[in-house]
Chain A
Amino acid sequence: MRKSRAVSPEDQKVKAAARGDEQAFADLYDTYLDNIYRFVYLRVEDQQTAEDITSNVFLRAWEKLGDYQFRGVPFRAWLFRIARNAVIDHYRTRKETAPLEVVINTRDEQHLPVSQQVGLRIEAEGVMQSMQQLTEDQRNVLTLKLVHGLNTEEVAKTLGKRQGAVRALQMRGLQALAKIIKTDGE
């Protein structure tokens, strides 16, 4: 009934980290830091808050890793699930909303001409503002699938939804985003 799968190098690192191997966990941190930060930042839209939550996500992951079971939930989906819950907790305890001030650092910033950096930031700011008008579920699905590259199964496991529901949210989210972008462009 249960599908067996080959143990990937990442699985080996996760198992080593679960046994308390600090270096293995640090490697996982290096691998997923940008992903988790990006996911959190797109939810809270504040650099300092995103950094604080991202740090907490990895601390929680370290504390909970002993309970992580290789039972069909990929490690990165598990990590995104922790991040999602951390964001939910953040909004539950912090009611005030900070004004949107996009402070964007990009991976290749130092290698890009200033004009391209500015263009990239303006584009990112525009799409983030548009995404604010989507539902939470739609934003989560679009972010996880189209920004982080998770497949539908992984997104379903991260969000606790069925794959059909994820596909439907993806379509409705893109329909809504297309409408928002069209309206804003007029």
Chain B
Amino acid sequence: MVSDMKDVLETCLARIELGELTPEECLALYPELSQGLRPLLAAAQKLEPLKQLAVRPEFRASGRARLLEHIRNHPRRRSSRFGPLALRYAASLATLVFALATAGTALAQQALPGDVLYSWKLASERVWRSIQSNRVDADLILADRRLNELHAIQGLPELEILGVSEYAHLLRQLRSDLETDQERVSAVNQLLAAHKEALSDLFANSQADLPDPEELFSTIPMRGEEPPGKDNGSNGGTEIPLPVDPTQLEGDQVLPSIEATLPAGNRN
């Protein structure tokens, strides 16, 4: 019944917004739900005056002038996907690629969930991870790999479930590593916030029965939930960056948002 009400409410609000029906006409279409529906439609109507809110004319003009002045003085630069800040990760990735290649597992690195070589890929990553001095950094690189895989298998429900399972495994691993590396919590949160956004989009369009992204990330502290006294990851007011389309990445390139996770001491 609750589900019915949600759907009927959605339909009524949409048709009223389009001018196809009045609230009374919509109530007449669903007499069995009209008692519960009536106060909801009335409440929705109460929001109408808010549609009239507008900026002051003075602000409209002055804001536009300031904006144009700003963009003339600050021509927008397309952010570099591989700036100097990625050096450490590039080196780390190079080590990864070299180690994997010499072990004869390079082929497996292109494998996706469901492929024969995917287990081999995971095994080789475990070996690589075990020799890294900073496990959190290693996990972040692997998290990006898992995310790229999920995008690559988008639309294949069975594989999506497998891919999400591997991603969840990595999050548990990361959580465990963070217990001994609290300095990186806020940096990790920044990257995972971007991942969460990307996964929310992906999950929303999935046919598979995937977990809620909120649940998936509930084991990891996220923005605003860091331990008291820790930097909350906000760098003076930046929005969560939109993830770059992984289909445009090549090989093992790292999403640019990973740069934001670098410790200050390692930034050039």
Contacts of A38 in B (CB 8 A): 50-51, 53-54
Interfacial chain B residues near A156, Cβ < 8 Å: 200, 204
Q: Which of A40-68 contact B (CB under 8 A)?
A: 41-42, 47, 51, 54-56, 58-60, 62-68
What separation, in Å, do the CA atoms of A183 and B67 have in the docked complex?
A: 44
**B76 pairs with A63, CB closer than 8 A:** yes
Give 1 or 0 for each of B25-53: 1 = CB within 8 Å of chain A CB. Answer: 00000000000000110111011011111
B155 within 8 A of A: yes
CB pair B201 A157 closer than 8 Å: yes
Tell which of B108-116, B174-182, B237-245 binds the partner: B237-245
Residues of A within 8 A of B75 (CB): 20
Q: Which residues of chain B are within 8 angstroms of A37 by Cβ–Cβ distance?
A: 53-55, 59
User: Which of B2-10, B127-135, B259-267 lies on the face that meets chain A?
Assistant: B2-10
User: Which A residue sits closest to B243, measured CB to CB?
Assistant: A69
Q: Please determine whether A92 and B234 come into contact, CB atoms closer than 8 angstroms.
A: yes
State which of A33, A64, A65, A168 has its C-beta within 8 Å of the C-beta of B6.
A168
Interface of A is mostly: helix
Residue in B196, B234, B242 whose beta carbon sits within 8 Å of that of A89 in the complex: B234
**Contact indicator per residue, chain A 107-134, by CB within 8 Å of chain B (1) or not (0):** 1110000000000100110011010000
CA distance A170 to B224 in the complex (A): 24
Q: How many chain B residues touch A (Cβ–Cβ < 8 Å)? A: 65
Minimum CB–CB distance for A128 against chain B, Å: 7
CB-based contact B204/A163 at 8 Å: yes
Q: Are A106 and B50 in contact (CB-based, < 8 A)? A: no
A33 touches B60 (CB 8 A): yes
- Chain B neighbourhood of A163, CB < 8 A: 204
Nearest to B223 among chain A residues (CB) is A88
Residue B203 at the A interface, CB < 8 A?
yes
Known contacts A67-B241, A128-B50, A160-B197; A171 and B66 CB within 8 A of each other? no
Residues of A within 8 A of B77 (CB): 66
B183 at the interface (CB under 8 A from A): no
Q: Which B residue sits closest to A66, measured CB to CB?
A: B78
A149 lies within 8 A of B39 (CB): no
CB neighbours (8 Å) of A107 from chain B are 52, 54
The answer to whether B201 and A56 touch across the interface, beta carbons within 8 angstroms, is no
Contact B59 A51 (CB under 8 A): yes
B49 contacts across to A, CB distance below 8 A? 120, 123-124, 127
> Quick one: closest A residue to B237, CB to CB?
A89
**A82 to B53, Cβ gap below 8 A?**
no
Q: Nearest A residue to B57 by beta-carbon distance?
A: A105
Give 7 A-B pairs besides A29-B67, A37-B55, A82-B239 with Cβ atoms closer than 8 angstroms: A29-B63, A33-B55, A34-B53, A63-B74, A153-B204, A162-B212, A168-B6
Lowest 7 CB-CB distances: which A-B pairs, in order? A85-B239, A1-B155, A66-B78, A178-B39, A106-B52, A160-B200, A178-B43
23 A-B pairs within 8 Å (CB atoms) are namely: A22-B68, A29-B64, A34-B54, A38-B50, A42-B53, A51-B59, A62-B74, A62-B76, A66-B76, A67-B78, A67-B256, A69-B242, A89-B238, A92-B232, A104-B52, A107-B52, A108-B52, A124-B50, A142-B44, A160-B196, A160-B213, A174-B9, A175-B39
